[in-house]
A = this chain, B = another copy of it.
Amino acid sequence: MEFSALMTSAGINVGLCALFLCLYSILRKQPTNVYVYFGRRIAQEHYRETECYTLDRLVPSPSWILKAWGNTENDILHCAGLDSVVFLRFLVFSIRVFSIATIVCLFGVLPANYFGRDMLHKQIQLESVEVFSIANVKEGSRWLWVHCLALYIVTFSSCALLYQESKNISRMRLAYIRRSPHNLSHFTVLLRSIPIPGGEMLRDTIRNFFRNYHGPSYLSHQLIYRTGKVQKLMSSAEKVYRKFVQLRLPSSNTRQRLYRCGLCGGDKTTPFRFHKNEVDLNEKSIDLTFADIVQAEKDCIAAFVFFKTRYAAAIVSQLMQSPNPTLWVTDQAPEPHDVYWSNLSISYNWLWFRRVLILVTSIAFMFAFLLPVTFVQSLTQLTQMKKMFPFFRDILKMPMVTKVVTGYLPSVILLLFFYTVPPVMMLLSTIEGSISRSDRKKSACHKILYFTLWNVFFVNVLSGSLLTQLNAITRPKDLASQLAEAIPKQATFFITYVLTSGWVGLCSEIMQIFALVYNFIRKYVFKLDDDPELVPTFPYHTEIPKVLFFGLLGFTCSILAPLILPFLLVYFCLGYAVYLNQILNVYVCKYDMGGTLWPLMHNTTVFSMVLTQIIAIAVFGIKLSKFSAGFTILLIIGTLLFNEYCRQRFSSIFTSLSVQDLIEMDREDELSGRMEDIHEELLSGYYKYFPDKDSQKSDKCNGENSDSTIVNPFASNFSQVIKPIRSESL
């Protein structure tokens, strides 16, 4: 591909981007689109765009960038959570790293490449793109030390910035958790694989177990049932329970405590005193026996167990409870609004099997995707294309069409194929059995990242048929040298990929084309009102892999084909502006991952650096520069040691909270008297989010106080049957 073809491609994309951004700046001013472009503001801040003059509404302006820019990190933290801040900081990190890389590589490596071989240079626009890559440096050239030095500078600056960033983010995470008012999940443990008691009732078994082993800190628990089938049986449970209690515990003398009366199985007789329609209930027919209840309880698959302090809940969730590790399994519960209810019904004993199954399926999917990618790959070779589409032969002879087809079409097709990946991966993560939406998103994020790295990077680089690529995996030794030869050659493809998937992708992100069309149809075809519930959450699972992949591309191409770097730098800068705007205006933060995606970003960056270094060694080997290859080996060792140090220093911070933090948070709450409020909230917190709204409503009708489920005795006993819903919005 010639330099001019590349520039044509770049020109088309710059034009498209400009068009999209102008369109965006006009569309966002239209009042009909306010739910598309200001979803978060409306949902969380009850924002209303002031009506402006008609002419102003039709003039494009870059004011949105300035508006977004004006927000501090604290504003973002406040309105979009820690994950957004972490994501934006990673973009800032990328901008910093690739600014350094661009300067070093454009002024050091690029001239070394261009003048790397004694040859007659053509006019610059007729020059092949390969001339600017390391492929142009002749074997045994003395100038390869420039590449080695550039690699050192890039690696050292990346490591320094990465360490700084890790330090900042772990500090921010701790501060964020300490500042957040009260995470109910910190007091809650999800209990699964509860042994089926013989004769005894399940709620008693659980209560006895935790009273016995965690007596001073145990607060109460809440059962979760498997299916909606139990619902029917349970509808008359209210009556039978009362009778049962009266028969079994005639002289029960338990203490009265407000926060224990409701949802726990604790003091059963107390709550009846709050109950108004006690007499009415007694008059109804009682048609459930004790055996029926025990039978019904077999459908209980999990329970939330509440503790008085965060520290106690952390102990229970982190220590093995029973000598049989597959019984009384405890995990930290997700936040109430983050629970993925339908997955709670999965038997714990089959979770491992699901995980294995999904792992195998994901790998199979990754390899099945080779087929479309191989097809796309063949499009970049014009001769192959002519063979495949003989009827287009005449059109393909036109030089302009050729440029567009080879430079632009493959990336677009690949992009369209890639739109199917996130939903598939999300589905796989759902089947995997994540108990929270954030976990599901995180898991999907990992899968999409590996998928992208493999299918976009490796498969595209290792050009050729399906078989060649499969051979490459089975021979890891050859992989490096194959990559070393292929990357400079594939530089054109990657640059156009940055332009199409990167730049234009960002523009389509800010335009929200799908949402725009959906909103239009909703409003003008179906005549529906705007619904604040429909505001989407930020799609970390698709955006983080994208950004990380461009980072990988930047690292690996930095010294091999530095021409890509300016395009990438523009991508990251534009990305920062776009994502900042979207986070502030469009996406709502429904659940929080607490910055736990940072380790993925950190590890992928280190992986990118090490891969770059391995490829560099292979390149130096091909170019017969033992000196540079030797120094690069030292660099790999250094990078791996750096990674190991960071793992030691930071990784635990992202998995659990320290005793010191937990206890201090508990003490603060106790001193300020908030603890009692938290305990009360705890008991209703999870119940509020039960997906089965009907059952919830019928409960409320029974109790006088329709707002609080705490005074409803059956909320604690039978009526809290959770019917898992199988399909849930993301």
A217 CB to closest chain B CB, in angstroms?
Answer: 12
* Residue A417 CB within 8 A of the other chain: no
Chain B residues within an 8 Å CB radius of A648: 325-326, 352
Contact check, A650 vs B325: say whether CB atoms are below 8 A apart.
yes
Contact check, A321 vs B659: say whether CB atoms are below 8 A apart.
yes
Chain B residues within an 8 Å CB radius of A641: 353, 356
A450 CB to closest chain B CB, in angstroms?
Answer: 19
Q: Which of A235-243, A248-256, A459-467, A470-478 contacts B (4 or more CB under 8 A)?
A: A470-478
Contact check, B658 vs A174: say whether CB atoms are below 8 A apart.
no
* Residue A413 CB within 8 A of the other chain: no
Given contacts A325-B649, A474-B475, A652-B325, whether A320 and B356 have CB atoms under 8 Å apart is: no
Q: How large is the interface on A (under 10, 10 to 19, 20 to 34, 35 or more residues)?
A: 35 or more
Contact check, B663 vs A213: say whether CB atoms are below 8 A apart.
yes
* Residue A318 CB within 8 A of the other chain: yes
* Residue A286 CB within 8 A of the other chain: no
Chain B residues within an 8 Å CB radius of A326: 648-649
* Residue A247 CB within 8 A of the other chain: no
0/1 interface trace, chain A 638-677, chain B, CB 8 Å (1 if under): 0011001100111111001111110100000000000000
Of all chain B residues, which has the CB nearest A348? Answer: B648
Contact check, A645 vs B352: say whether CB atoms are below 8 A apart.
yes
Chain B residues within an 8 Å CB radius of A652: 320, 325
* Residue A322 CB within 8 A of the other chain: yes
Task: Select one of B476, B657, B659, B661 contacting A474, CB under 8 A.
Answer: B476
A412 CB to closest chain B CB, in angstroms?
Answer: 35
* Residue A323 CB within 8 A of the other chain: yes
Within A213-254, which residues are at the interface with B (CB < 8 Å)?
Answer: 213-214
* Residue A315 CB within 8 A of the other chain: yes
Task: Select one of B314, B315, B318, B475 contacting A475, CB under 8 A.
Answer: B475
Chain B residues within an 8 Å CB radius of A318: 318-319
A308 CB to closest chain B CB, in angstroms?
Answer: 15
Chain B residues within an 8 Å CB radius of A657: 320
- Provide the bound-state CA to CA distance between A659 and B191, in Å: 15
- Provide the bound-state CA to CA distance between A326 and B619, in Å: 39
A724 CB to closest chain B CB, in angstroms?
Answer: 24
Chain B residues within an 8 Å CB radius of A212: 663
Task: Select one of B174, B323, B644, B659 contacting A660, CB under 8 A.
Answer: B323
Chain B residues within an 8 Å CB radius of A316: 659
- Provide the bound-state CA to CA distance between A475 and B353, in Å: 30
- Provide the bound-state CA to CA distance between A313 and B319, in Å: 12
A58 CB to closest chain B CB, in angstroms?
Answer: 53
Chain B residues within an 8 Å CB radius of A315: 315, 319
- Provide the bound-state CA to CA distance between A640 and B353, in Å: 11
Within A307-351, which residues are at the interface with B (CB < 8 Å)?
Answer: 314-316, 318-326, 328
Contact check, B659 vs A320: say whether CB atoms are below 8 A apart.
yes
Contact check, A321 vs B352: say whether CB atoms are below 8 A apart.
no
Chain B residues within an 8 Å CB radius of A322: 658-660
Chain B residues within an 8 Å CB radius of A640: 356
Of all chain B residues, which has the CB nearest A355? Answer: B644
Of all chain B residues, which has the CB nearest A170? Answer: B323
- Provide the bound-state CA to CA distance between A352 and B644, in Å: 8
A723 CB to closest chain B CB, in angstroms?
Answer: 29
- Provide the bound-state CA to CA distance between A174 and B314, in Å: 25
A408 CB to closest chain B CB, in angstroms?
Answer: 37
Contact check, B325 vs A314: say whether CB atoms are below 8 A apart.
no
Contact check, B659 vs A319: say whether CB atoms are below 8 A apart.
yes
Contact check, A314 vs B319: say whether CB atoms are below 8 A apart.
yes
Of all chain B residues, which has the CB nearest A174? Answer: B323
Contact check, B356 vs A644: say whether CB atoms are below 8 A apart.
yes
Within A451-492, which residues are at the interface with B (CB < 8 Å)?
Answer: 471, 474-478
A-B contacts, 19 listed (Cβ < 8 Å): A213-B660, A213-B663, A315-B319, A318-B319, A319-B656, A319-B659, A321-B658, A321-B660, A322-B658, A322-B660, A323-B653, A325-B650, A325-B652, A326-B649, A328-B660, A352-B648, A353-B641, A471-B477, A475-B477
Seed contacts A321-B659, A323-B658, A352-B644; 9 additional CB < 8 Å A-B pairs: A315-B319, A321-B658, A322-B659, A322-B660, A323-B653, A324-B649, A356-B641, A356-B644, A474-B478
Which residues of A are in contact with B by a Cβ distance under 8 Å?
Answer: 174, 212-214, 314-316, 318-326, 328, 352-353, 356, 471, 474-478, 640-641, 644-645, 648-653, 656-661, 663
